[in-house]
Amino acid sequence: MGSVEEMHTWILKMSHLSVLAVVTVFFMIPAGLLSDMRDPQDLDGQQLAQRSTFMHHRLKRGWIWKELFVPEEDPTSHVIGQLKSDSDRGEFSIKYILSGEGAGDLFEIDEYTGEIRTLKKLDREEKAFYVLQAQAINRRTNEPEEPQSEFIIKVQDINDNMPRFQNEPYVSSIPEMSPVGTTVAQVTATDADDPMFGNNAKLLYSILQGEPYFSVEPKTGIIVTSWPDMDREAKVEYLVVVQVKDMLGLSGGYSSSTTVTVSLTDVNDNGPTFQQLTYTFAVPENAAVGTTVGRIMAEDGDIGINARMTYSLKDDLEGSSTFIIKTDPVTQEGVVLLAKPLDYEVKRQYVMAAEAANDHVDTRFLPLEEFRDRTTLRVVVENVNEPPVFLSPLYEWEVPENAAVGTVVGNVSARDTDTDNSPIRYSIDKRTDATKAFKIDPNKGTIAVAKALDRETTEWHNMTVEAKETTQNHLSSTVVVFIKVLDVNDNMPRLARDYQPYICEGTQAGELIQLLSAVDPDDPVEGHHIYFSMVPEEHINPNFTIRDNQDNTAGIVARRSTFTRKDQTKYLLPVVVADSGSPALSSTTTLTIGVCSCQPAGHCPTGGVEALALTMSVSMQTLLGILVCLAALTADVIKSTST
């Protein structure tokens, strides 16, 4: 081991390199105790302290060396220490050999003197220390003078790294009107230098931009508000520039900066405010219900839900509900709509109050009454030259079908609602009255019968009546008139069809021969009641009778049972059909009932025509006889004349 003076000399050498070198005297440690050393990054303070304890307990070992230090980033090659066995007498009989991490590449040893020299510059942030092995070999015997042992070369930190912010970019938001001291965000920087050596990695934060609204806690990087009641409506966004310095902010250190974007979120600290004391709108009197009269707008400096408002009409000074107001959800405007029809001649102006109130209020910032505001609405009704207006939306009348020409059916009436009250003329649209059954008085609007009516031909007459002003504009309007023609009993009932009844030979008395029904074109209110009967005769009909069923039908019934074609082939039966009108009308139809030799089931193959054919056949024979007689007489006359 060298003397104290040698150690002092070595420290002075290190001081020339501007590096603080701490030299610790180590006695030789057997290889067995250090052979299990891990990677240098895994050595913590406790492990090094334990090793130091072992070293101090073995002061009796035979060779020693100094714990070695080398400053990082030094490109010059220089001696950083010396290994020496206590058996080395300066005769160069000992050969020193170096192995382990960086041996031959970063470090080399003088095999005669044991001096260790650096070959390249080192970077502590890349590797903080190196574990090497040393051997002392007797040159004569080539035997180890001392057992192989490990030692450490530590790389001393210099301030060669600037601090760097993590997790950029920084964006944060806080509610407006936040109290002083409200935490905004925390910025964090790291420094790759050794935090355990000097102040190289000790950081200090400060504000470069953003005061007096914000401040930063120097050691933690926590940004807080330092200005009360910051107003989003005045300024929405702030850019806060934070600087971090190493070396505790002392001169000669490194620094970097980052920007924190701070946004103020909205709170409801503003109520709606109308920019006008009075809003005036004009609307024509013929505007349809639902027409937008106008829009009003209350300004609110807030945004989003805090700016939502509802409009309403208050204190209607003229007691009218002619208008309503709705809130446009997109523009937050109040939309004034027409709720009832207008009439310039009745009312020409409306005045009412409109109110806008926030939907969501926050009494932490404003009293309740400041979350609403009022203005005055004035709506002027504009006059429009309107067409005549009928007193009724439609007209419906009734007239009996036997009404005489000229009979008045009804009267239409229209008036000019404008102030000039123009005279009106009436007319029937010819396209809607093709039959020209009615006429109208052009001045009075009286509608009368123009020609005979027939309900059975046309029951309803629908026409359009026009009312036109006689002024220059000739404005007109129309109305529909419905006229129903009422029924009068002016049609006789008659049998429903041309019946050809027949009776089978062998029919028994009382049997039904034919079922009759009748029709009547009239339409009495109480319904049809038709009666069937036979023509009154001096003597009762011995062959047939008519049985009225009292349901608008009747049956022809046989009175006797001895009907044969030899006796008679056909019978004539007059049938009277009468209605229940006032006066009652009736008709008489004579039916021809043929006698038929029916099949066993009662069916007549010729459908009742057989008897008629037979009758026709007999008549032909008679006719032929007559013709023969006439021919004979003619021949006799000619013969007599010739003689």
272-286, 415-429, 508-522: least confidently modelled range: 415-429
Cα end-to-end span (Å), the chain: 210
Please report the pLDDT score of residue 146 as a whole number.
Answer: 79
Burial of 420 (0-12, 13-18, 19+ CB in 10 A): exposed
Rounded Cα distance, 78 and 76, in Å = 6
Nearest Cα to 64, choosing from 80, 81, 91, 85? 85
State the average pLDDT over residues 205-223. Answer: 96
Residue that the structure tokens 């502590």 belong to: 124
Kindly indicate the confidence band of residue 64, based on its pLDDT and cuts at 50, 70 and 90: low
Kindly indicate the confidence band of residue 40, based on its pLDDT and cuts at 50, 70 and 90: very low
Burial of 139 (0-12, 13-18, 19+ CB in 10 A): middle
For residue 79, which phi and psi values (nearest 5 degrees)?
A: -75, 130
296-310, 334-348, 571-585, 610-624: least confidently modelled range: 610-624
Please report the pLDDT score of residue 61 as a whole number.
Answer: 43
For the ranges 9-18, 58-67, 558-567, the maximum mean pLDDT occurs at: 558-567
Please report the pLDDT score of residue 1 as a whole number.
Answer: 36
552 phi-psi bin (left φ>0, alpha ψ -120 to 50, beta other): left
Is residue 310's pLDDT more than 90? yes
Q: How far is CA 399 from CA 128, 316, 486, 587, in A?
A: 122, 51, 6, 27
pLDDT in tens, 480-521: 999 999 988 888 999 999 999 999 988 899 999 999 999 988
CA 267 centroid distance within chain = 29
Please report the pLDDT score of residue 23 as a whole number.
Answer: 30
State the average pLDDT over residues 16-23. Answer: 30
Please report the pLDDT score of residue 419 as a whole number.
Answer: 66
Nearest Cα to 264, choosing from 299, 305, 303, 300? 303
Is residue 308's pLDDT more than 70? yes
Question: Which helix (H) or strand (E) is 613 found in, with range?
Answer: helix 610-642
Question: Which helix (H) or strand (E) is 350 found in, with range?
Answer: strand 349-358
507 or 187, greater pLDDT: 187
The overall average pLDDT reported for the chain is 83
- Do residues 244 and 205 make contact, with C-beta atoms less than 8 angstroms apart? yes
pLDDT in tens, 77-102: 889 888 888 788 878 889 999 999 99
Contacts of 571 (CB under 8 A, 6+ apart): 503, 543, 544, 592, 593, 595
Is residue 619's pLDDT more than 80? no
Residue 140: Cβ within 10 Å count: 7
Is residue 33's pLDDT more than 60? no
Rounded Cα distance, 349 and 201, in Å = 81
- Do residues 354 and 377 make contact, with C-beta atoms less than 8 angstroms apart? yes
- By DSSP bridging, strand 144-156 and strand 68-71 are parallel
Q: How many residues does the structure list for the chain? A: 643
Is residue 617's pLDDT more than 70? no
Percent of the chain with pLDDT over 70: 82
Identity of the amino acid at 442: P
Residue 127: Cβ within 10 Å count: 16
Give the ranges where 24-159 is alpha helix by DSSP (H): 31-34, 45-57
For residue 331, which phi and psi values (nearest 5 degrees)?
A: -95, -10
pLDDT in tens, 87-142: 888 788 899 999 999 999 999 999 999 899 999 999 988 998 999 999 999 998 89
State the average pLDDT over residues 67-83. Answer: 87
State the average pLDDT over residues 446-450. Answer: 95
Kindly indicate the confidence band of residue 607, based on its pLDDT and cuts at 50, 70 and 90: low
- Do residues 463 and 433 make contact, with C-beta atoms less than 8 angstroms apart? yes
Residue 130 DSSP SS3: strand
Nearest Cα to 204, choosing from 160, 258, 245, 161? 245
324 or 537, greater pLDDT: 324
Please report the pLDDT score of residue 63 as a whole number.
Answer: 53
Nearest Cα to 269, choosing from 169, 386, 179, 177? 177
Is residue 641's pLDDT more than 60? no
